[in-house]
Structure 1
């Protein structure tokens, strides 16, 4: 912020309005223009921008545009004086040396012989923008035994501090040094897996490994059976459901979710191929105490520690005395962060948090008195708009407006999906409209709207309202495709503000100049220190920002809790194996089923390597172990043989193979055994019910919808309900406002069956070509939730197929296999071939089929131009645009048609080759 003779200048609404004829605050894509440069070019471009205004409204499907609002001014405090300052010159314009320079250190270059990296690998890093490493990265890599792979590593660094590079280098060294070596990189979210796969494939591009040995004759003999990519480093992502069991021969580096990594390691230990695994990277290791999914990292790491051969374990984002590892911690960030607390319109530096309570409690505090206590540094003026009467919301909008108008990116975190959409709409109404934007920016946002409209779900009305202003939201209610388009548009500068739920903080890498937390709660609960650090860590992007800023907007009633939260240290990480969900049962069942332990002594040896052993009393742990083993025996998962040896039963092995929790496995077994006695085969509902996940999916039953769907069931569907013990009278009573009893174990299990059948109704619609957006409307659920249900069911279905195979139920396995294909395609059996083609799923496949394109060959030989009208028919809305808007829309569909024909050609060639081979 510019300071003149002790007077701070700050933009006011009135000043901006007066200056408007000569200065329009503008967002320029990818550039920051000085205040003096803006007026001239914009005057010349004003006519072009005006001509685009109507087009832009048509492109975004806007009806009557909401009336414009004005964001509150943000006033700096200095001796009680406030004066207007142009928006583009506020504090974010300060030039800050973000990365300290040092004397030349040759070991900061990846070419240094100390790291022994291939020149081709270093060149790839350089091509990706990594010229040198930071001093802390050098110190970490040179820790004892790390580069040689003889020591494990657990290290911590701030988000954006470059911690991933350390793990990448160590993992790649293990794979490059040994032709047979395999590595796993374990991440919590599918989006991170996909992002990391793309990154690693660029890192290892064109790198060739040495032959297995120096015997030239043997190498010549192997050439005829060698795959084209055998010398390459193959990076493969593993997530969701899949019918094909992956083996080490399929990849060199596997990037996995927690669940997939645990499954791969179990299978490799069971078939004795685990010796090929040389490195495992556990990202977000601080999540190990998460009772929902993080405990799987403890299972993975403990099994690896129990192996006889050495696997280098690299744990990121935590500092804990576990894994027999070298530990390293740094607080270095290449882009520094300034942190603030916003309370009742006052902005405080986070460093003064301990004194904020005292200042806030003073009655009649005025700016000069507050400044005397060293507390507020700026004040957000109250708004005259009724929409902004809440001080927290007013602060969010003012802070987002201030940053976006200066050309920087903003992330706003909200506590709910509805809050995200509401904030996005309000922020969009204070940002520059189309007349004030550079034509290239308008073009980017039109392209984004076109991409969203061309999706099978169509264009969301709220996104249509916000995107023209450069604002969007990102939450689990959007489909994967929508979230990807929003994230990419933000990353390339088309969007300036993204409003997200907290899942974005850990789920994808989208840094911002300014991060704003609407409040300190996610849902009803106060966020924890770890989640707060995740969200605040998104501030500041290297290479684009000189500094990062975070603003935590605090409700009046939360002030005391928030101040405590801001000052809190990260909690000590503890094991998640002894919670009320009895995770230790799964740990014990897995090691017995894969024969890693089979006696009291080997079980105890395994327990001594757990994180649990470090954080609990030995007698308490032994009690949990004994109880867990007894429960597993009672449920029929393990047996005690002579000499006190533990052996997994067929059921126990089936539960482990299908990655079920023991309690869920017992429920599935009861359901499947009952179904084997009287399976309803003259309809789809029973098999779809069997395919539906048993885990808590956090989807509430809409009993009115349940009743409506029940009334539409045929005789087969009603017989399934009766067989499962579900009563129409109960559904009717619930639809009229009744409550479902869940006080006893039997009542809880019956409630689980009702919930599962309700989800099976949605699967029925998915398998019968009802589009995701139509199902979302029908069941009053977000589109993304429906899509997630379908993806979860594919994963659960793959597990159920393995469960049936292990139990010897081949016929049931075959039925589930067929419905797995139908669920993935979102179509009936006659469309399964077409659904293998990229972009052709569900309703789109049916439209192609009805238009005569019934085979892969027919689409492979089609002109992409012929497919554009068919793709138009498949769109959920029949909006017809005009002139340039319609042209751009057709261009999007033509590009999609080209991808479709290319995909069909590849599949057709494979089919023809198979026909030749069979002759």
Structure 2
């Protein structure tokens, strides 16, 4: 869903001072693009909106009434929020005026083992000091009890544990993982997270945690590490190396480059497959599986199962640490992973839960427990139960919908009290609409103190300087302290946006209701240690949805099960991977392998054998494996290429057919053909605007038209489609051709992105949701890397080289002339273009420039930067000078590497 909440823009010093006890995650996160950025001012009264990634069609239809509301008044017209009447005076004047005093954690003088310096944990003093500098001096009793579980501190036993969001569960995994690599020389650990934003956030956190810590390396290994190019770029040569692995990362790191690798699911699976094949997997000693409940996610959860099953099949000591906030059958999962199981419901900040229906607010309970009993539909419908508060009807026609009025009013009340609100909405459209409407009831820029306004304007300037540009709607809202993010999952799963209130604009994702697990994840975002004494959740719904909403609020979290089966093609992928990396090569050894998988614990043996037999037949018929007279299986060249590129078997067969044709007539005198090859085979649920397709087709040059003909796309067919003739998809051949048409439509978008067109402009041009275009921009980089590996494993070296040359443009989002500059931090495509136009066209030129000269270029790169009238720019220039110094230092390091490489060639 989409959400809204208070965003803080802090200095690194402020961040360090505000980090709290017991492994609380960092207080902010910067993700891909401008959508994960924060608002300003630690004291700002602001809100933040996020969305469910609903299909575009559902989003547009479900948000019509909210979008229409935006056109009644100009965006600058001020609206007012409704009043809230309190019925029960015994609750006190306001929840916000109460300051409940309770200990954040028991003192170590009461229990000395709550001190991280206690000998039982055997942690280096430097690590203890690092945690203390981040505000973590003692741990919670549940963390102590969990860590002291049988064989955990020594690494002899695996662990599966559950703890509520905000309860400090990350610290347990961090400590166990760090102990493994510090106590065993030359070993490695992997921490696996579901989303890129979480990976980036965790990399920053752990790099701070391990600062000054030395990895255990013998002298010979140390010299080998220092010879590595990535190692040379790091000033702290001897410290533990924390590297992030995710699609679109600029540095192409390898297994040998890290001590702790923090990965997305896909990257972790690829790393492990490669390490098993070349036997370097023997260095692995710890693997953390975060968000373990996602294992039964229909789309990506199976990767967690594949990873864990492979690790269990290895004959070496690897401590597996799985954690989740919602894992009802944790004991079964622990049995599968041969792990100690631990569960706690402790949460340092209590959460007060509420239901809002037709403007009436009902108190449900605290931390998921009902106050007396479950509310019933008829009690609310017939006013048989008293509401604690009432949101008055609005005089504005924009707020006639009582759900929307409740969302806006509650967000506004939260912000006025100095806290942040996180609002989840059901679609991208509703998310943006909520953000705009909330911004119109917030104090306007001229009503906000100059310090806060200055920070917000600096943030807006930074957003405008990004390669993606600033979202037009975000430009409307950010100065009022409101921002939004078009993606539910990473926010609900753990991007650390501490908010006093979580407000749900209904409980839907698109047209469907969210599940109980997702609802708990979203509500668990409320309240953070050190930010507010209590957290609050408000689920706002209409009368027609009341029965389903109440059922959802009181529903038990469903038990997780394996999602491997032949219908969703996951078993086929699992079998192909196992055979390709040679963990099993016969029917019997495959059965033994799958006995280590969760599928054998949630399904009977007959089902597993049926899946195995059927899956083997399918991938054999696809030409991905062969078997000899001894009934041994081996992956074909195509099968190995599919595994190496991390695509699904059926997608891999489609890609192979496409590339085989491409090799016969690769159109090299333009960019459209290579862009098509780099375009992911998923269609992201897009709906093609055939009029736009026709117009772009008409504008293609001769090279582009040859690509159309080569792909089988007929201009006459496109003209008919633009006139309203439906796209035929009745036969397998028609479906394959339709896939080509959709993929080419995405390739046109990718072309514009690589030519420095901002994401929001591309979205508007192609009538596509901005989130879909941003997903394309992010996904294509990882997909391109996969295509290069695919070609290498197929023996198509020339094709791989051609793709490798162009892939840097995907990384930079820029034309070829800017690629060298785009390697420097803070120089995105738009900023790189300004540097180029001002004569700084090489890394060396920037490295040899005075940082004060670079400040002028950075200022020129932000022509739309806002200013308060009469405000002196000294403060802003100081910030730019800090950035210029970072750019200069980074350019110098890159330049030195270039010089060393040139000297080595002479």
In the superposition, the TM-score normalised over structure 1's length comes to 0.84
Please give the residue correspondences for 1:676-755 in structure 2 after superposition, counting only pairs within 5 Å.
Answer: 676-755=663-742
SS of the aligned residue for 1:569 comes to coil
Relative distance call for 1:458 and 1:882 in structure 2 (3 A) is farther
Give the one of 352, 356, 372 matched to 1:338. Answer: 352
Larger RCO (CA under 8 A, 6+ residues apart): 2
CA drift at 1:525: 1.1
- Quote the residue 2:379 is aligned against: 359
1:287 and 2:294 aligned: yes
SS of the aligned residue for 1:541 comes to coil
Distance 1:270 1:32 in 2: 52
Distance 2:893 2:628 in 1: 54
CA drift at 1:125: 1.2
What whole-Å deviation, never above 9, does each CA across 1:165-207 have from its counterpart, x for those lacking one? Answer: 1111111111111012110000001111111111111111111
Contact kept in structure 2, 1:415 and 1:502, CA below 8 Å:
no
- Quote the residue 2:642 is aligned against: 655
- Quote the residue 1:325 is aligned against: 339
Distance 2:357 2:225 in 1: 70
What whole-Å deviation, never above 9, does each CA across 1:854-894 have from its counterpart, x for those lacking one? Answer: 33323333344545565566558698986428777766666
Contact kept in structure 2, 1:341 and 1:348, CA below 8 Å:
yes
Contact kept in structure 2, 1:452 and 1:459, CA below 8 Å:
yes
What whole-Å deviation, never above 9, does each CA across 1:662-695 have from its counterpart, x for those lacking one? Answer: 0111101111112222222332222221111112
Range 720-729 or range 161-170, more displaced: 720-729
CA drift at 1:615: 1.1
User: Cα RMSD between the aligned structures?
Assistant: 3.0
Distance 1:907 1:308 in 2: 41
Distance 1:836 1:621 in 2: 48
CA drift at 1:772: 3.6
What whole-Å deviation, never above 9, does each CA across 1:885-910 have from its counterpart, x for those lacking one? Answer: 87777666665554444433332222
What whole-Å deviation, never above 9, does each CA across 1:458-479 have from its counterpart, x for those lacking one? Answer: 4444333323332222225xxx
Range 144-153 or range 238-247, more displaced: 238-247
Unpaired runs of 5+ residues, structure 1, are 1-26, 34-62, 477-500
Relative distance call for 1:138 and 1:522 in structure 2 (3 A) is same
CA drift at 1:106: 1.6
CA drift at 1:275: 1.3
- Quote the residue 2:767 is aligned against: 780
Relative distance call for 1:717 and 1:504 in structure 2 (3 A) is same
Range 622-631 or range 849-858, more displaced: 849-858
Relative distance call for 1:439 and 1:588 in structure 2 (3 A) is same
Please give the residue correspondences for 1:24-423 in structure 2 after superposition, counting only pairs within 5 Å.
Answer: 66-78=76-88, 89-91=94-96, 93-97=98-102, 99=104, 101=106, 104-210=110-216, 212=218, 231-241=238-248, 246-317=253-324, 318=327, 319-321=330-332, 322-350=336-364, 351=370, 354-362=374-382, 365=383, 370=384, 373=385, 375-423=386-434
Relative distance call for 1:244 and 1:834 in structure 2 (3 A) is closer
Please give the residue correspondences for 1:450-599 in structure 2 after superposition, counting only pairs within 5 Å.
Answer: 450-476=461-487, 501=488, 503-506=490-493, 508-578=495-565, 580-599=567-586
Distance 2:248 2:852 in 1: 35
What whole-Å deviation, never above 9, does each CA across 1:706-757 have from its counterpart, x for those lacking one? Answer: 1111001122211211121111122112212221122222111111100111
Range 313-322 or range 839-848, more displaced: 839-848
CA drift at 1:852: 3.1
Contact kept in structure 2, 1:450 and 1:888, CA below 8 Å:
no
What whole-Å deviation, never above 9, does each CA across 1:96-115 have from its counterpart, x for those lacking one? Answer: 42647478112212122222
Relative distance call for 1:205 and 1:505 in structure 2 (3 A) is same
Range 159-168 or range 432-441, more displaced: 432-441
Distance 1:842 1:443 in 2: 26
Contact kept in structure 2, 1:242 and 1:798, CA below 8 Å:
no
What whole-Å deviation, never above 9, does each CA across 1:57-91 have from its counterpart, x for those lacking one? Answer: xxxxxx9773332222222224xx899x97xx445
CA drift at 1:433: 3.5
Distance 1:164 1:232 in 2: 22
CA drift at 1:918: 3.2
Distance 2:202 2:563 in 1: 27
CA drift at 1:347: 1.2
Relative distance call for 1:892 and 1:108 in structure 2 (3 A) is closer
Contact kept in structure 2, 1:185 and 1:256, CA below 8 Å:
yes
Contact kept in structure 1, 2:250 and 2:811, CA below 8 Å:
no
CA drift at 1:259: 0.5
Aligned residues: 822
CA drift at 1:791: 2.5
CA drift at 1:916: 3.0
Distance 1:634 1:101 in 2: 62
Contact kept in structure 1, 2:457 and 2:867, CA below 8 Å:
no
Distance 1:449 1:841 in 2: 16
- Quote the residue 2:825 is aligned against: 838
SS of the aligned residue for 2:871 comes to helix
What whole-Å deviation, never above 9, does each CA across 1:576-625 have from its counterpart, x for those lacking one? Answer: 11163210001000010000101112101111111111111211221111
What whole-Å deviation, never above 9, does each CA across 1:498-524 have from its counterpart, x for those lacking one? Answer: xxx454222511121111111111211
SS of the aligned residue for 1:71 comes to coil
Relative distance call for 1:862 and 1:468 in structure 2 (3 A) is same
Relative distance call for 1:115 and 1:820 in structure 2 (3 A) is same
- Quote the residue 1:21 is aligned against: none
CA drift at 1:435: 5.4
- Quote the residue 2:596 is aligned against: 609
Distance 1:703 1:176 in 2: 58
Distance 2:216 2:269 in 1: 30
Relative distance call for 1:858 and 1:188 in structure 2 (3 A) is same
Relative distance call for 1:579 and 1:131 in structure 2 (3 A) is farther
Contact kept in structure 2, 1:246 and 1:264, CA below 8 Å:
no
SS of the aligned residue for 2:375 comes to helix
Contact kept in structure 1, 2:186 and 2:216, CA below 8 Å:
no
SS of the aligned residue for 2:688 comes to coil
Distance 1:866 1:243 in 2: 26
Relative distance call for 1:510 and 1:209 in structure 2 (3 A) is same
CA drift at 1:639: 0.5
CA drift at 1:790: 2.4
Range 614-623 or range 296-305, more displaced: 614-623
